[in-house]
Each structure stands twice: as C-alpha cells, then as structure tokens.
Amino acid sequence: MWFGILIALVPLFIGYSIKLKNAVWIVRVNKSLSYLVYAILFLMGNELAQLNDLLNNLQTILSSTIILFICSFGFNMIFLLILDRIYPWRNQANHHELPARWKMILESLTIFFALIIGFVCGLLPLAIWQYNQIISEVILVILLILVGIQLRSNNITVKQIVINQVGITTTLIVILSTLLGGWLAAYLLKLPVNTSMAMSAGFGWYSLSGILMTEAQGAVVGSITFLSDILRELCAIMLIPSLIRRYKLTALGICGATSMDFTLPMLQKGGGIMMVPPAIVQGFLLTLIMPILMTLLNYYF
C-alpha cells in the first residue's frame, strides 16, 4: 500500500522542485515524456497478451470501457452544460480557424500502435517479460519526475491558481461529476465503488492512469481505464469545435488534464487567448490531483 502511494507522489514532487529555464532542456523533457508514454503503453499491451482466457477478457474490457466512459464523460457533459447555463463565461475572443480535427485524432490514435506492438510481442515466449512489473515501476518513476519538471516549467504560481476562478471551478465540476459517474458505473459493472471511482479518475491522463490501475488492480482494470481516458481525449477533440463558441466552460472541462497540453491549441484558437490561463490551471490541478486521488481510492477506501 505505502509503495503505491510513494511511487505516485514522491517522484512528482521531486520533479516539481526542479525548474528549468533553458528552452532546449524543456523541449528535451517534453520529447522524453512522449517516448516514456509509448514505453508504458508497450508494456501494458504486453501484460494484456499474457492474460488467461484472453478472448473473454477482451470482451469484458471493451464492454466495461464503454459503460465507464458513458457514465464518467456523460456526467461531465451534464454538469458542465448546467454550469455554462447558470454561469456563462463571455470573454473577448478573436476566433480563429481551429487546427485540423482529423489530424489531431490521427495523432492521438498513434498511441494504439505502441499498445498493439506490445500485445504482439507479449505473445512471444520471452524470459524478459517476467520483469515487466519492475520495468514499469522504473519507467513510472521517471515519467512522474519529468511531469513534475514540466509542471514547474510552466511558471504557474500558487497566486495564479488561487485567483483563476474559471479554472478552479471547471476543475471542481470535472472531479465531482467524474466521481459520480464512476459511482454509477460501479453498480452497472458490479465492481467495488472505490475501484470504479478510481478507474474514472484518470481525467484523460491515459498513460499514467492506465499503469497506476494496472499496478493496483491488474491488467484488465488498467486497460479499461486507459481506453476510457483515450475516448475522453478523442471525444474532446471532436466536440471542442462545436462547443467552444457558445459553451466555453464545457469545451474546457471535457478536456480534463489534457487542457494543459494536447487540447490547448484548439481551446486557444477557438476561444481566444483568455482560454489559456484557465486551461493551464485546470490541466495543472488535475495532473497534480489525479495520482493522489487514484492512489487514495485504490488503497484507502
């Protein structure tokens, strides 16, 4: 239990204590994170290939992913749309042409190749696969340190977080509605409530949520969590252009933790420069909260 908590929190805070000012090193950190994400997905695919009764497990994974996603993302949409109605946010936005939606979807889908390659390699009877757990833990620690560095390098101060009411509000709504969705999914999937809520609490950070749930609950649960978060990112990309003009808070909230990086260009171009501060604050807070919340739900409840 304690190892699960320490592996989620300590590396993140170690990384956050390091601030890089050199732009070249910041770019290197970002590239290294991309490589580590692919490595983690490769190992997840590998573990999935070694499951007993693979066909039945795949059916369970796909059906459970759909239910979990509909509950968590659906509750997000409902709560955020209500927020947009009672607290409409009108900023002075100069709308621009959005980045090519299909291009971003294809970029997001490329991560599946790492998972598929890992799955195929996992079918080969190689002795190295017995060390998967150790390798995963090492990669996870490195990834969290780099994420901490990346967060600190965005120059977000505590004051900026405290005074940005839009970012804090959407973050709280996303957390509350996601956990409610996880609670409903627990009854539909016949899972322990804490496990289902932990599965829903990835907030779109698929690389970390998948491996944390794999470490805590096994490859099946980890795969469901990963796929649900991938669907969140893909649906956010699809829906932002339709929502950004009239429902800015909804467009921001459904991005989850990705509002700080992957979906930020779409939010900025569609909603104007004023979308950037709350998007970064929301992404920062969810990135910081996710491993803490997921670990607590897995080990304390």
pLDDT tens digits, one per residue of 37-49:
788 778 877 877 7
Structure letter (DSSP) for residue 259: G
Structure letter (DSSP) for residue 19: -
Query: What sign has the CA pseudo-torsion 288, 290, 295, 300?
Result: positive
pLDDT given at position 1: 45
Only one residue has tokens 């800015």, namely 248
The model's pLDDT over 224-268, given as tens digits with 9 standing for 90+, comes to 998 898 888 888 878 888 888 888 999 999 999 888 777 777 787
pLDDT level of residue 10 (50, 70, 90 thresholds): confident
pLDDT level of residue 179 (50, 70, 90 thresholds): very high
| Closest listed residue to residue 140, CA positions, set 232, 228, 75, 209 | 209
Long-range contacts of the stretch 224-228 (C-beta < 8 A, 24+): 224/61, 224/64, 224/65, 224/68, 224/199, 225/68, 225/199, 226/41, 226/44, 226/115, 226/202, 227/61, 227/62, 227/65, 227/69, 228/65, 228/68, 228/69, 228/72, 228/199, 228/200, 228/202
The model's pLDDT over 92-148, given as tens digits with 9 standing for 90+, comes to 555 455 555 566 566 666 767 877 888 888 888 888 888 877 887 788 788 778 877
pTM of this structure: 0.77
Q: Is the confidence at residue 175, as pLDDT, over 90?
A: yes
Q: Is the confidence at residue 177, as pLDDT, over 70?
A: yes
The model's pLDDT over 192-231, given as tens digits with 9 standing for 90+, comes to 999 999 999 999 888 788 888 888 888 889 889 988 988 8
Structure letter (DSSP) for residue 52: S
Q: How far apart are CA 152 and CA 72, in angstroms?
A: 29
pLDDT given at position 210: 84
Q: How far apart are CA 290 and CA 202, in angstroms?
A: 6
Q: Is the confidence at residue 91, as pLDDT, over 50?
A: yes
* Number of residues that this document lists for the chain: 301
The model's pLDDT over 150-160, given as tens digits with 9 standing for 90+, comes to 777 766 666 66
User: Taking the C-alpha atoms of 276, 280, 282 and 286 in order, what is their torsion angle to the nearest 10 degrees?
Assistant: 160
182, 196 Cβ separation under 8 angstroms: yes
- Torsion region of 161: left, alpha or beta (phi above 0 gives left; psi -120 to 50 gives alpha): alpha
Q: Is the confidence at residue 55, as pLDDT, over 80?
A: no
Mean pLDDT across 2-7: 54
pLDDT given at position 106: 66
Q: Where are the domains of the chain?
A: 2-299
pLDDT level of residue 7 (50, 70, 90 thresholds): low
- Helix spans in the chain (H): 2-16, 23-49, 54-86, 101-109, 111-122, 132-153, 158-163, 165-189, 193-200, 206-217, 219-243, 248-253, 264-271, 276-299
pLDDT winner (highest mean) among 34-38, 160-164, 178-182, 200-204 = 178-182
